Structure 1
Amino acid sequence: MKLLGIVIGFLCVNFLVASETYKAGVLLQNKEINEFTPFIHQAKQTGVDILVLPSLPTGYADKYDELVSLFSKTARQAGVYIAVHLYEKARCGMAYETVRSNLVFDRNGDIAAVYRKPQNGIANCTAPHSDLVTFTSDFGVTFGLVMEEDLALYDEEHFKGVRNFVMAGEWESEVVFLNAANFAPSWSYIMNANLVSTAGIYSGKAGLQTGDDNLIVAELSKNGGSDSQMVLSTKPSNLLHEYLSQYVIRPLDVEASSRGYKETVCHRRFCCEFYVKTALGNNNEASYKLAAFNGVLPASDHHNIAAEICIMSGSENSNTVFERISVTANFTKQNAQFPIVQSATVLPAENFKFTKANGNSQQVTLETVNVKNVQNVGIFGKDSVLEDNYIYGEKNNTETVEHDIYEYIFNEDVQEFFDYVWIRLRILIVVVSIYILEMM
């Protein structure tokens, strides 16, 4: 009886633990669409509840209905939730516009949620959702459905306290550390939320979840990210020279940094305080820049972002060992701040610290110790209120006007009016012609 009680207790504990988690999967890129189905069934065999597929290119826009039918059938056969980003062509007046669509299929193959945006950002017929699109799964988790740019464009209030997110839909930002593979871990870390995306699976402060070369599977808490901090660093990416030209930049004195080097860099009224201590015996020819920025950045063709940024940026190939890097700044209080750590080597949790202290402004400090092969380290502060979420530059205003004129000219009502005028004009021409002939 005692053994039976132990077994029952063990089963109850396992059931309780299992009920507090779910399994998420991500199928990595570079797969042909005919390869999706076997991996979807493989995910089911590993117990995956929800699977995010790679985003399909715009060339598949003409096959939207066919693909929806295919994924619906596959989700039903495999018995898993499937999330995928598709392009579709939607009629808009006398023309067509390309629409980006995030779709989620439930285990029955029904569409559980749809999130749409115009591809060009200025289409009239497909307005983006102003509120967060959510759906609740049969395993008791409410998910937010987002595209990559939403992480950078929206403030915390937009996400309504949701702790689990599905993200699909690629976005190329001119600010390299805002691209999904770079910004997603920082966003998940600060929000302490699970983010299941085409870029990977991120579990709050537990960081990136790993898997094999084809399929990543992770067991996640239904309550959001883990409190057990692990790795935050992401793969290095080069900051464009023309992008850094907008910053106030000071070169790091690598030789002096072996004794501990302090530098304050200011852009307008925003100042960044850097402290850098390198290990003895480093190559003094390594080149690093200390930079500050306060203003508006062109994040992409149709989006600008108001930002306050402190960053130390250098060469990816540098073998410089940093005993300590500290970056501190006073940020505007209503801003959100995110850590930037891009390194070719893994950064253990105990070597990283990110703290905030409230006062008249919000003092934020990022500190790393005993790290090498660092390319970018710093803090990205984003204004929490973006004017209308989308701020267009002069070029995009011109595009908008041209697009509006085009839409007006080819509007069905306008076309009918011109047809009516042309018919009446033809009648008048015939009558005048007959009159002229009779006069002759």
Structure 2
Amino acid sequence: MGCLLNTVIVFLLVGLTNSSTHTYKAGTVSSAQCSLDACAQLAQNAAKANVDILVLPVPEDISRSVQKDNFDEAVKVISSLAKDNKIYIVSHFLEKVRCQEKTEIIRNNLVFDRQGSVVYIYRKPLDLTATCNVTATGTTFVTDFGVNFGVLMPEDLVLRNLQGKNFVVAGEWGSEIPALAAPQFFKSWAFTTNANLVTSSGIFSGKAGGTGHGTDLVAAELKKDGGDVINAPIATTSPHVQDLSQYIIKPLDLAKQDVRETVCHGQFCCHFQVKTSASGAQGLNFGLAAFEGLRHYGGGQNIGTQECALLPCVGSLKSSCDIGSINNTNIIFDEISITANFKPTESAQFPIILSTDTLSNSQFRFDSKHENNTNQVTVKLYDGQNLFNFGILGRDFSKDYVEKTVIYDNNDGLTYKIYEYVNSDEVLEFCDYVWIRLRVLIFVVSIYVLEMM
């Protein structure tokens, strides 16, 4: 009895010590996939590095096509890794289920505790119109080291107005909006919310941005309430081709060293002040852009978007934006200031910076203040070079909607999307009705023409 009591006391003291610390250690894997043996080794390395929670990619041995048919087996594999190494593991799985007399593909984020038990499940259909029962087991889960985590898939950072300080993100998502591509947007989201993100693309510590060290295994110590160091949320990846057909754009006259312009898209206006001190690369044009409306985000999602941006393009700025292989714009921006007013509720705003150069804290400012029933947001940059996108991206959650689509999955794991209403019985019946009436009309007209001849 005394031995049991001592064991309980030690367990409670260890738990109390873990929960009373102000930090925890998170890990992720630098590669998108790993073999089963490699994942097992990474989990062992994470345990040796005293990692508390690890976001792990699904092993290559459990490929997507196999995983759908052997979901339970895949779960057992990751469960064993968590149990053997006494760490929390978050991993993403695909699962085949029968729903409404057809097969649906369900995306799963599962959280395993140190005993290998599944303590959190977040499920979402690949087909967003599916009405299968895929709700999460809760909104958050609490660890033995005293952190309350939210569990997300990458698109949730864009689609949901979230509250919290610690999140784990697993899964894949393809954005059709360059500024909202997951690796770039993670930094901006973490900066704006000052929340920790432990993702399969990296570890982000609030306003401090990307953190961690290591080659195969990236580990970082995070403060539970977010980062207290401020770093500009700059993305250094190559920019995508952008569709600017819906934007209102005014060319930036580089011959003027101090430009003040207001660009409006409908009632939404962006106020620009740009000071430059060097000429640009040959064939490279800069534009001051404004946009307000719906953008197709991917997977049938359409999102309310407001954007103010300074954009460079090779050639015309009229319909699309592409800088090709240019990585040096030869422009020194002494100062850029962009200000716009946004809704005070059901909205969020994020700084967007894409450059091949780094920025110090003193070169960047992002401010937000409520005034006259609006949220006035200003982003500023000083002594910036080699900019390929700079501005404010706003979200209006009240305007979001999902297209009614169906996603089919073939044996190779590829997805094909068609609009459901095209194959609906009502549309087919209507087409038959129109065709019958049209044939009668053609017959009558033909007889009339023959009689006239």
TM-score interval for Structure 1 and Structure 2 normalised by the shorter chain: 0.7 to 0.9
- Among 94, 102, 114, the alignment partner of 1:95 is 102
Residue type matched to 2:228 in 1?
D
Alignment of 1:318-357 (within 5 A): 318-334=329-345, 335-357=347-369
| Structure 2 CA distance for partners of 1:352 and 1:132, relative to 1, 3 Å | farther
Q: CA deviation at 1:133?
A: 2.8
Kindly indicate which of the two structures has a greater share of residues assigned to strand.
2
Deviations 1:213-271, CA, capped at 9 Å, x for gaps: 32211101122x11220241012443434x21111112222222xx2222211100111
Alignment of 1:257-296 (within 5 A): 259-280=257-278, 283=281, 285-296=283-294
Deviations 1:87-128, CA, capped at 9 Å, x for gaps: 111122443211100011000000010100001212222445
What SS does the corresponding residue of 1:76 show, helix, strand or coil? helix
Does the aligned pair in 2 maintain the 1:185–1:232 contact within 8 Å?
A: yes
Asked if 1:228 is matched to 2:229, the reply is yes
Distance 1:135 1:174 in 2: 31
What SS does the corresponding residue of 2:132 show, helix, strand or coil? coil
Does the aligned pair in 2 maintain the 1:176–1:237 contact within 8 Å?
A: no
Alignment of 1:203-214 (within 5 A): 203-214=205-216
Residue type matched to 2:114 in 1?
R
Does the aligned pair in 1 maintain the 2:404–2:420 contact within 8 Å?
A: no
Distance 1:185 1:400 in 2: 36
What SS does the corresponding residue of 1:346 show, helix, strand or coil? coil
Distance 2:120 2:32 in 1: 25
Does the aligned pair in 1 maintain the 2:212–2:221 contact within 8 Å?
A: no
Alignment of 1:25-174 (within 5 A): 25-34=27-36, 35-54=38-57, 58-59=64-65, 60-129=67-136, 133-156=139-162, 159=163, 162-174=164-176
Distance 2:32 2:406 in 1: 34
5+ residue gaps, structure 1, are: 1-14, 406-440
Distance 1:16 1:75 in 2: 18
5+ residue gaps, structure 2, are: 1-16, 313-322, 408-416, 426-453
Alignment of 1:387-402 (within 5 A): 390-392=401-403, 399-401=419-421
Does the aligned pair in 2 maintain the 1:115–1:133 contact within 8 Å?
A: no
Q: CA deviation at 1:323?
A: 1.6
Does the aligned pair in 2 maintain the 1:164–1:222 contact within 8 Å?
A: yes
Residue type matched to 1:50 in 2?
I
Deviations 1:181-239, CA, capped at 9 Å, x for gaps: 1111111111111010111111111111142332211101122x112202410124434
Give aligned-pair identity as a percent. 38
Deviations 1:159-191, CA, capped at 9 Å, x for gaps: 3xx210000111111111112111111111111
Does the aligned pair in 2 maintain the 1:173–1:299 contact within 8 Å?
A: yes
- Bigger drift between 86-95 and 44-53 goes to 86-95
Q: Which residue of 1 aligns with 2:449?
A: none
What SS does the corresponding residue of 1:329 show, helix, strand or coil? strand
Distance 1:66 1:127 in 2: 20
Distance 1:251 1:235 in 2: 24
Distance 1:367 1:379 in 2: 10
Residue type matched to 1:27 in 2?
V
Distance 1:393 1:253 in 2: 44
What SS does the corresponding residue of 2:235 show, helix, strand or coil? coil
What SS does the corresponding residue of 1:254 show, helix, strand or coil? coil
Asked if 1:383 is matched to 2:396, the reply is yes
| Structure 2 CA distance for partners of 1:261 and 1:71, relative to 1, 3 Å | same
Q: Which residue of 2 aligns with 1:253?
A: 253
Q: Which residue of 2 aligns with 1:297?
A: 295
Deviations 1:22-79, CA, capped at 9 Å, x for gaps: 0000112243332111011101111100000125763332232111001101110111
Kindly indicate which of the two structures has a greater share of residues assigned to helix.
1
| Structure 2 CA distance for partners of 1:170 and 1:395, relative to 1, 3 Å | closer
Q: Which residue of 2 aligns with 1:7?
A: none
Residue type matched to 2:142 in 1?
T
Does the aligned pair in 1 maintain the 2:294–2:399 contact within 8 Å?
A: no
Distance 2:43 2:58 in 1: 15
Alignment length (residue pairs): 381
Normalised TM-score (structure 1)? 0.80
| Structure 2 CA distance for partners of 1:16 and 1:349, relative to 1, 3 Å | farther
